[in-house]
Amino acid sequence: MSDNFQLLKSDDDVLLFEQHGFKHTFIVGRFKELYLQQIKDKIYSTEQKPKNYPFVVFLNLNTGLRVEDKVGIKFNSSKWESVTEEIECQLLKLGDSGWQKGRLRVKNYVDFLPEENRGCQYSSQRGQPPKS
């Protein structure tokens, strides 16, 4: 995967996907809403796991680890991150006269800041530890 992707900052731009012989257009803001709803539906699905499963995962991570019941390791934060496969599409930016061909990928992650770190400034960018 290339790291030259650009963040889609304007929710008013338009995405065009051509899949299985059909063309689908979405305003970026609406695409984000629909995507997030699908993620929520999967996370909070009660079909195969308890209803509070996502919260249990973060709670368990936040309590830390004990290696061979000897060495305690506490976490400053817990994070889930997901990156989609790249999807061929076109983008029409407001004010531009034509479509720009490219690929779309969606990154999402959830950060959890433990209560004891509330006074710290925390950057949600990868590799950035809390700052006191």
- DSSP for 18-56? EETTEEEEEEHHHHHHHHHHHHHHHHT--SSS-TTHHHH
The pLDDT of residue 20 is: 83
Q: Which residues of the chain have pLDDT under 50?
A: 1, 122, 126-132
The pLDDT of residue 125 is: 52
CA-CA distance, 58 to 83, in Å (whole number)? 19
